Structure 1
Amino acid sequence: MPPGTVRLSSLPDNTAPDLSAVAAALGSLAHDFSVRWLETCVSTNTELMTHTPADDGRIHVLATSAQTGGRGRRGRQWLSWPGHSLTFSSLWRFTPGAPVPAGLSLVVGLALALTFEKLGVEGVQLKWPNDVLVHGHKLAGVLVELTPGRGRTMAAVVGIGINIGLPAGVHIPEQAGVSDLTHELGHAPSREALLGLVLAELHGLFQTYAVAGFDALRGAWQQHNAFASLPVRISGEGKDIVGTCVGVDEDGALLIQGDSGLVRILSGEVSLRPNT
């Protein structure tokens, strides 16, 4: 299979993973990655954080066919369905001086959005700080956790969950709706090809991020902002903030224009909802 070729598959996919297909999707970048795929795992993020691989110059990736105790933001359970989702984490060690973690989770979301668009998904949106939507329905989520890196620059464990083909009638709490790649495309790429394509997109964007910071990618993120110029309510840390979403700044902070002026939201412990 030529590099970058995407194999279509039926779902659910309960076959053993073919790591050569991941390498094929990565193409010339394959030597930069070390990929492990476990049949089952409590949490890929926890596994990489607890048993951090030695720094051998490669990006270490852990995927699983079934995650039994995945974690999302704010202590929520990360829901996934064996054979219906792609769940994986990757450990990225940045060069000293890289602007970690400012805007990092937004860069991950952008990488997912660009990957989905290259596959042909239409209506891809980004919900600050860590969700990827299609026409308002959740398609993927991100959890970034920091760990000691090189010198004073932190490393990041990037956890990603992508809905490939969800069981009928599935419901995710606190989500207005969910979608999956099978619904959006008619068919979905194999788990292995999708993993390779996302990793390749992350690799390119993280190179830009490490040199120029999130500001170099902010315009692309803004183009996908699900709540651009819309009335929103930010809740989760004391008094709610109501205003118009005007985008994000060069550090990835959310900007809300309220009655008293522009408010900069830094904390990840918030919820973004339409103000209806």
Structure 2
Amino acid sequence: MNVAMPENVEGIDQPWTSLNEIANGQTNLRNELVKTLTQKLCSSIELYETQGLKPFLDTWHKYDNFIGQNIKLIMGNREVHGVCRGIDSSGALLLETDSGIEQYVGGEISVRAAD
């Protein structure tokens, strides 16, 4: 998403949108968007403070693009390959390897595990 996407977009190889296109001339759309996002973020932070991650897990799993994918987890010099099984109630990554489902709390995910 962009506020004012330039006309030259040939190099972009993924879906995109521009707020100016969506707004149809409404000048306050950007401010309304920031206001709404800020309100939702504050509500989510308050919910997290009182209930932890649990209220967010269903939504997380619904939108998690890595679930069911072969991934590579990179932790410094160490790499672990497996199938992503989402996150647990503490936020740890669940990675299914030959050893079973393992939990990880740090690292970088790459979906180029087959390389």
TM-score by structure 1 length? 0.35
The match for 1:270 is: 108
- Give, in angstroms, the shift of residue 164 of structure 1: 3.4
The structure richer in helix per residue is 2
Residue from 16, 23, 28 that aligns with 1:180: 16
* SS of structure 1 residue aligned to 2:48: helix
- Give, in angstroms, the shift of residue 229 of structure 1: 1.1
Instruction: Name the structure, 1 or 2, with higher relative contact order (CA <8 Å, separation 6+).
Output: 1
* SS of structure 2 residue aligned to 1:240: strand
The match for 1:198 is: 37
8 Å CA contact 1:164, 1:182 repeated in 2: yes
Deviations 1:89-143 (A, max 9, x none): xxxxxxxxxxxxxxxxxxxxxxxxxxxxxxxxxxxxxxxxxxxxxxxxxx5xxxx
The match for 1:77 is: none
- Give, in angstroms, the shift of residue 271 of structure 1: 3.1
The match for 2:87 is: 248
Is the counterpart of residue 221 in structure 1 residue 60 in structure 2? Answer: yes
User: Aligned residues, how many?
Assistant: 109
8 Å CA contact 2:71, 2:82 repeated in 1: yes
TM-score by structure 2 length? 0.75
Give 1:29-68 correspondences, 5 Å limit: none
* SS of structure 1 residue aligned to 2:101: strand
* SS of structure 2 residue aligned to 1:181: coil
8 Å CA contact 1:165, 1:181 repeated in 2: no
User: Which protein is bigger by CA-based radius of gyration?
Assistant: 2
Unaligned runs of 5+ in 1: 1-138, 140-162
* SS of structure 2 residue aligned to 1:263: strand
Opposite residue 275 of structure 1, the aligned amino acid is A
Would you identify which runs of 4 or more consecutive aligned residues in structure 1 move more than 6 Å? none
The structure richer in strand per residue is 1
Give RMSD over aligned pairs: 2.8
Q: Percent identity?
A: 20
Q: Distance in 2 between matches of 1:192 and 1:234?
A: 38
Unaligned runs of 5+ in 2: none
Give 1:57-96 correspondences, 5 Å limit: none
The match for 2:72 is: 233
* SS of structure 2 residue aligned to 1:250: coil
